[in-house]
Structure 1
Amino acid sequence: MISRRFKNLEEGLERLEMEAQKVGLKVNRAKTQYLFSSRKSTTGNNKFIELNGNKYERCDKFKYLGVLVTKDNEMKEEIKARIAAGNRVHQDSLKVMKSHNLSRNLKIKVYRTVVRPVVMYVSETWTMTAAEEELLKRWERKVLRKIFGATKEDG
């Protein structure tokens, strides 16, 4: 469960248990955790919350639909993970990128359709700082330098 207010979190957990019982399901208390999301470090310091005699543990980050969600809503870890995934895909396609039989335009198409989407997945939702934006630009320049190869200065 994700919530910005502790009271909403408790209400959400209560609703989850009630709705699960209606269809004959049980909430696994050992696996159920909560994430308190806030930019302020003073709120939500409870390690556990108790609801109907059950304790639920707080987590600081988790993957939700393939995206890393953190307690302070920062994207730095997600961007680094995306760049690492992009590097893995780029390494896998290195044989294609180094081939002299393929044109530069084809290599650019491979980059735009295979490598770049791995890094840019859900990037529309990211709130980035200038440093994080520079990190992405630096990664893209590195990949493009490998595609275009070495160049001579002054011609």
Structure 2
Amino acid sequence: MKLVIQRVTEASVRADGNMIGHINQGLMVLVGIGQDDTMETADKYLKKMLALRIFEDEQGKTNLSLADVKGELLLISQFTLYANCRKGNRPSFIEAGGPHMADELYEYMIQEAKKQVPVVQTGEFGADMKVSLVNDGPFTVILEDL
């Protein structure tokens, strides 16, 4: 699994010209699911992501988690995080999870996140999406190989 986590002041996602997800302050997360990922993998990554202290406290230090700032969460499936560009100029995606498995695991992550975060918005699995965000900082963290 690979997560690209961006601290945002706002973020949105559109599919077919329609706004399908929008958040204010919080985390916009691109979720890449690999062939070997499981529910246990998703649980571990979700726990780590939600515990990250990447929001500023009153002294300007990054000491606060998403829950501490009552932040919102936007999860967007992104198989291209598994692009392998070692050979040639056309990326290979063979390490990405298959569509059926990846969709199930993405939906599982959404449901688990909703148990812990009051506002969870999502993209649409497999859709051509347009993502807009205002990265706060900018502050971006990549989680992989946990």
Fold shared per TM-score above 0.5: no
Which one has the bigger strand percentage?
A: 2
Which structure ranks higher in relative contact order (CA pairs < 8 Å, sequence separation ≥ 6)? 2
Scaled by the length of structure 2, the TM-score of the pair is: 0.29
Q: Which is greater in Rg? A: 1
Which one has the bigger helix percentage?
A: 1
